[in-house]
A and B are shown apart, each in its own frame.
Chain A
């Protein structure tokens, strides 16, 4: 029998570097130096793939890596300053207010518990969540034995009810995976002549369907010929078959996260924004309090759902069991005019997948726009959401084969998000190995949004297993009042609204038809920054990308929050810079 040590040693032998390692409780710690970031990623992944490895802490450095000293120094300083300033006492403290943290907060709000959700940014969903493409995957892709597989199908099934309760937009439009001559082109040499077409049209779709069925995805259909184009009139005529997965859905990811957080808050969870964990007060292997820039949150249990920073939080808590390797995804947003070109989430299956842009496709949004992407590029910097011209071209070229007539020039915006991947490439939802009352909810990458309701349920069960007493709350209200929108109203409804509040009749963002009343409502619901208002109202998300309404929106935000115009934030950075003559006119 080979031990884990033997296996790790044999994998590392393949690399021309002197890399030392240590294994503790199935967690592999790597140390050494390599030439490039890509090698750092590659080595981490190859260790992560070893069966039995539960986590890779990759302490290898690469040439040119930038240090984290400044951030660590800041944390130490804030820790010393704030370690004695108690904010309150809680049963559970959740670190990280992405969609997972928000879903967890809401799940915990069903019980008699005092819970706090800490988010370092100025808004919920301001990290990875906000840059998601909004797809609620059906669950065909995850492989056997993964948590992803277990939680994706279940999460998908939970969305319908959740959307109804929380009043967020949800469209179960289904997905269509096209099989074209390109699908298996790399394997053509094994499939001579007509065999290729036969396999392509009649065998391969079944392989996909069976994989889905095994994962628990229902109602998958294989369609061929004219039927494909009845479903998707603009799809490439190269498609010889398609796998139709009706349970795929789309949502607006930040609307979901904000809705979850609002509902959690309404049910008693405290949400603390601009609150960043900098360290822990511990008693042996038990956390007694989370120290933040706002003070100490004394607590009995801690959930680490800190996304891209989950590894650093785990390290601060004394249970570093994984390293996050940031993986960037670029998405292009198309004008709403292009909505007619796609009715489903569309993708072309091409095997083997290009490791740098695996998956992705053409996805309609709940707002009628269309998204292309995302890419998947390993980046050294957790906050590298830059987009280059080359990346835009790459996405345009990659997907234009799916819908050849799609107007490629109708891109109105592009953005990137960074996935919080671990080297084991699965969700990490388990009690910490070396801290008794810490639960990891980390490594949540695709299909994390789809799985998030199930992740929350699963995580709460883990907390129960760790000894948390869960007594259902009698007054739990599962419902949230949806954000009212002028764009969704009939003229009569809008007229009625205007009669009660004339601000409904003042349209601030004309591209997206957003009224002043919606901006005021967003502020009342907790939006403090321009981007927070934008995410809740869509002001600035249309054709002109805010060149008309940014200032108008900022003026309303300033009036409603009492923050002077020149002090307003976009997200974390200041929008403007002082008055022209040094003082407010």
Chain B
């Protein structure tokens, strides 16, 4: 029986597996695609790994480093292998996976889920109009262009002003499409400032804030979209409808944890839309961990990588029968949209890293940890917070001792 089976061979899964393998644990990685690397294989732009490797790498370079390590360690990998079922037994767990080699039944003491996130599609935002050829998610377009050299179309409208949308816009621009227009309902781009500069402004790609696609027009193929301006509450402003001719609509509507593939009854957090985890990224099912973008969508691969390393330490503790105490619940307070972990329960000395997404854009604030009565336990000064940038604080365990519930909010300094 294996010590751990990691489901998902993207950066987070590989990071966890490599960490454990380096420590001598018997680990396997199960990957549904034909190669390791996950979404990074299609992300040919750079900027990955500034914290993990201390340099800005492209996606394939980042994953290649991990893959090399995995190879050196002789990590067992199952490619083209899809996990169909997971059985949780008292003594051990079983991962039932399907691959061209047959049906695999992998017995393991620990499961680490690292299946990442998926893109929100047009139906989730109730995109109206027809459903002709030519409406694709940004990630699919990225894959199509970068790995297969095929363009989705020539005249593009991109919905969404987040990082993925901006990066895809730049790629399409560089690959020579005729026109691009980005539209988004916010007043400004929702992604990282560096991407606004490097992907949009540097190339003069046109964009329209406070604008959404009301409906898609086209019989066989997209022929255009009807755009409409929206107010601060994203309600359409009457009389601003306008037809814009295009042959492709690219949906960059954000990412959500891909929890549809979690085949067991783990508890979910409606805010992160991922599974609830403790400080070592263990889900509500003992010995089942979840890492990376499956837990909550991170801004940088470096963050996702980090969660995998934290989880790997948790796996080690679990395998060595580490102790737990009564859980301390962590919940988002004012001005915090979501946070991870949702509970702290292991006996450990290390500080607890808490990842949280601000709900506001503000300068000079303090991230405040409070007990149930609202008494301040500690605070962390931040020069500037914004929803597009995930914040991380290290909460000392001493701050949490003997508590049951803690909330974390963002207050004026």
- Point out residues on A near B: beta carbons under 8 Å: 383, 385-389, 392, 411-415, 486, 491, 494-495, 498-499, 502-507, 510-511, 513, 515, 542-548, 550-551, 555, 565-566, 569-581, 584-585
Residues of B within 8 A of A (CB): 32, 80, 82, 84, 96, 98-103, 118-119, 121, 123, 126, 128-134, 136-137, 139-140, 143-145, 148-154, 175-176, 215, 218-221, 247-248, 258, 260-261
- Contact at A547–B119, with CB atoms within 8 Å? yes
Question: Does the CB pair A547–B150 fall under 8 Å?
Answer: no
Which secondary structure characterizes the binding site on chain B? mixed
Question: What is the CB-to-nearest-CB distance from A484 to chain B, in angstroms, rounded to a whole number?
Answer: 15
For the complex of A and B, the 7 pairs showing the least CB-CB separation, nearest first, are: A573-B220, A573-B221, A502-B100, A570-B133, A573-B133, A507-B82, A505-B100
In contact, B103 and A491 (Cβ under 8 angstroms): yes
Report B113 CB to chain A, min CB distance, Å: 14
Can you identify 20 A-B contacts, CB atoms within 8 angstroms? Answer: A383-B219, A386-B215, A389-B126, A413-B123, A502-B100, A505-B100, A505-B101, A507-B98, A511-B260, A543-B118, A544-B119, A551-B144, A565-B150, A570-B132, A571-B220, A572-B220, A573-B132, A580-B151, A580-B175, A585-B149
- Knowing that A387-B131, A543-B118 touch, tell me 20 more A-B residue pairs with CB under 8 angstroms: A386-B215, A413-B123, A414-B123, A498-B103, A499-B102, A504-B100, A505-B100, A505-B101, A505-B102, A507-B98, A513-B84, A544-B118, A570-B221, A578-B150, A578-B151, A578-B154, A579-B150, A580-B149, A580-B151, A585-B148
In the complex, the answer to whether A547 meets B139 with C-beta atoms within 8 Å is yes
Complex CA–CA separation, A138 to B130 (angstroms) = 32
Known: A386-B215, A565-B150. A577 touches B247 (CB 8 A): yes
- Given A414-B123, A576-B150, residue A547 in contact with residue B132 (CB < 8 A): no
Contacts A413-B123, A570-B133; is A495 near B103 (CB within 8 Å)? Answer: yes
Q: Residues of B contacting A495 with CB < 8 Å?
A: 102-103
Residue of A nearest to B175 (CB): A580
> Which residues from B are CB-within-8-Å of A513?
82, 84
Q: Is the CB of B153 within 8 A of A576?
A: yes
A residues less than 8 Å from B219 (CB atoms): 383, 572-573
Partner of A494, one of B98, B126, B131: B98
* Interfacial chain A residues near B221, Cβ < 8 Å: 570, 573-574
Among A414, A491, A498, A511, contact of B96 (Cβ-Cβ < 8 Å): A491
B103: chain A residues at CB < 8 Å are 491, 494-495, 498, 505
Question: How distant is the Cα of A413 from the Cα of B124 in the complex, in angstroms?
Answer: 8
In the bound complex, how far is the Cα of B53 from the Cα of A139, in angstroms?
A: 69
Expressed in whole angstroms, the minimum distance between the Cβ of A572 and any Cβ of chain B is 4
* B212 CB to nearest chain A CB (Å): 11
CB distance A548 to B128 under 8 Å? Answer: no
Q: A502-B100, A577-B153, A580-B151 are in contact. Are A547 and B118 (CB under 8 A)?
A: yes
Q: Which residues of B contact A511 (CB under 8 A)?
A: 260
Partner of B176, one of A389, A505, A580: A580
B37–chain A nearest beta-carbon distance, Å: 15
- Who on chain B is nearest to A547 by CB? B137
Q: Which residues of B contact A494 (CB under 8 A)?
A: 98, 103
Q: Are A575 and B133 in contact (CB under 8 A)?
A: yes
Q: Do A580 and B100 touch (CB < 8 A)?
A: no
Question: Does A569 contact B118, Cβ atoms closer than 8 Å?
Answer: no
CB-based nearest B residue for A516? B100
- Check B100 against A576 for contact (C-beta < 8 Å): no
Chain B contacts for A555, CB-based, 8 A: 148
With known contacts A412-B123, A495-B102, A545-B123, A389–B149 Cβ distance under 8 A: no
B128 touches A389 (CB 8 A): yes
Q: By the criterion CB–CB under 8 Å, are A385 and B130 in contact?
A: yes
A residues near B80, Cβ cutoff 8 Å: 505-506
Give the distance to chain A from B333, nearest Cβ to Cβ, in Å: 25
B248 touches A510 (CB 8 A): no
Q: Which of B98, B137, B220, B258 has the most CB atoms of chain A within a 10 A radius of its CB?
A: B98
> In the complex, which residues of chain A have a beta carbon less than 8 angstroms from the beta carbon of B144?
551, 576
Q: Are B131 and A415 in contact (CB under 8 A)?
A: yes
Beta-carbon contact of A545 and B133 below 8 Å: no
Q: Which residues of B contact A542 (CB under 8 A)?
A: 260
CA distance A499 to B100 in the complex (A): 8
Residues of A within 8 A of B119 (CB): 544, 547
Q: Shortest distance in angstroms between A216's beta carbon and chain B's nearest beta carbon? A: 39
Q: How far is the CA of A546 from the CA of B148 in the complex (A)?
A: 18
List residues of chain A with CB within 8 A of the CB of B260.
511, 542-544
Bound: A499/B103 CA distance, A:
10
Minimum Cβ distance to chain B for residue A210 (Å): 42
Q: In the complex, what residue of chain A is closest to B34 when comparing beta carbons?
A: A506
Whole-angstrom CA separation of A428 from B288 in the bound complex: 61
Chain A residue numbers with a CB within 8 Å of B118 are: 543-544, 547-548
- Say whether B218 contacts A547, CB under 8 Å: no
Q: Which residues of A contact B134 (CB under 8 A)?
A: 573, 575
- What residues of chain B lie closer than 8 Å to A581, measured between beta carbons? 149
Interchain CA distance A566-B118 in the complex, whole Å: 24
Q: With contacts A547-B140, A577-B152 known, is A498 near B98, CB below 8 A?
A: yes
Closest chain B residue, CB of each to CB of A336 = B260
Most chain A CB within 10 A, of B102, B131, B133, B261, is at B133
| Known interface pairs A412-B123, A550-B140, A580-B149; A505-B99 also in contact (CB < 8 Å) | yes
Which of A505, A573, A574 is within 8 Å of B98, CB to CB? A505
Q: Which residues of B contact A387 (CB under 8 A)?
A: 128-129, 131
Q: Which residues of A contact B121 (CB under 8 A)?
A: 544-547
> Does A498 contact B100, Cβ atoms closer than 8 Å?
yes
For the complex, what is the distance from the CA of A386 to the CA of B128, rounded to whole Å? 7
The closest CB in chain A to the CB of B172 belongs to A580
Q: How long is the Cα–Cα vector from A543 to B4 in the complex, in angstroms?
A: 28
Q: Are A503 and B261 in contact (CB under 8 A)?
A: no
Name the A residues within 8 Å of B148 (CB-CB): 551, 555, 565, 585
Given contacts A411-B123, A550-B140, A574-B133, contact A506 B175 (CB under 8 A): no
Chain B, Cβ-Cβ closest to A381 = B219
Would you give the shortest CB distance from B174 to chain A, in whole angstroms?
9
- A506's partner among B99, B130, B218, B247 (CB-CB below 8 A) is B99
